[in-house]
Structure 1
Amino acid sequence: MNIEQFRAYCLALPFAEEKTPFAGFFPNARDILAFYVGGKIFCYFDLDKFDKCSLKSTPECIAELKERYQAAGNPFNMSPKYWLSIRFNDDLPDALLLELVTSSYTLVRTSLPKKQQDQLAQAGPLGKP
């Protein structure tokens, strides 16, 4: 999977936005591209390297993925209990990676305050791009 395909998939999710939120926090932070829904991050990666991404997940899913795939590891600068890192073009299939992106998006979107969830629901559905 290449960077443009991955970026297009993330942005195709309803109400997804992209930003570079870490500029100025640490060296090369301006190169971190993050995807948001409702103002919260559901995925991010390094634009220059594009070697892995970090996604939100459940502790059970994280443990299973780490046990099954070499591509699954600890995230950069996030809680390893609720976030994981996936190396691109490794032993984890691209189709599963995209499912994990959608799952991360859904976890974040459904964790938003009820009022915000209702506003998003009125404007469009949850779902796959």
Structure 2
Amino acid sequence: MNIEHFRNYCLSKKYVTESFPFDEVTLVFKVANKMFALSGLEHHPATVNLKCDPEKSIELRAQYSDVVEGFHMSKKHWNTITIEGNLSNKLIEELIDHSYNLVVNGLTKKLQKELGFI
């Protein structure tokens, strides 16, 4: 998967915004103003950070060399994934979905209802 495919997939999700809050090379994706994905655009091959359930993080890191502890993030809750590596687009999209859903499920029930998630 290239960075443009990653970007388009993230933006296809409900209520997602993109911004550069840290600097001009770190692209951040948020849902309801909560971060679920980011990428340093200067990295080659392209890598992204995605939120992940802690137990699932450990499993993914053991199974795939292209999944490592989150770079400059909480090692417990974030993974860095090489998207221009050996992972399938389908798996990367599943990991994006997982990250997005973790953030949505962490929103207040009131906000989830206002946004139409429940």
> TM-score per shorter chain, which class?
over 0.9
One-letter identity of the residue aligned with 1:5: H
Counterpart Cα distance in 2 of 1:60 and 1:82: 9
Q: Is the 8 A contact 1:109 1:117 kept in 2?
A: yes
**Structure 2 counterpart of 1:55:** 50
Q: Is the 8 A contact 1:73 1:86 kept in 2?
A: yes
Q: Give 4+ residue runs of structure 1 displaced > 3 Å after superposition.
A: none
Aligned identity (percent) is: 38
Determine helix, strand or coil for the equivalent of 1:21: coil
RMSD (CA atoms): 1.4
TM-score by length of structure 1 reads 0.85
One-letter identity of the residue aligned with 1:70: S
TM-score by length of structure 2 reads 0.92
Determine helix, strand or coil for the equivalent of 2:60: helix
Unmatched tracts of structure 2, length 5 or more: none
Unmatched tracts of structure 1, length 5 or more: 24-29
Q: Is the 8 A contact 1:72 1:87 kept in 2?
A: yes
> Is it true that 1:43 corresponds to 2:43 in the alignment?
no
> Is it true that 1:80 corresponds to 2:75 in the alignment?
yes
Aligned length: 117
Q: Is the 8 A contact 2:2 2:84 kept in 1?
A: no
**Structure 2 counterpart of 1:33:** 27
Determine helix, strand or coil for the equivalent of 2:86: coil
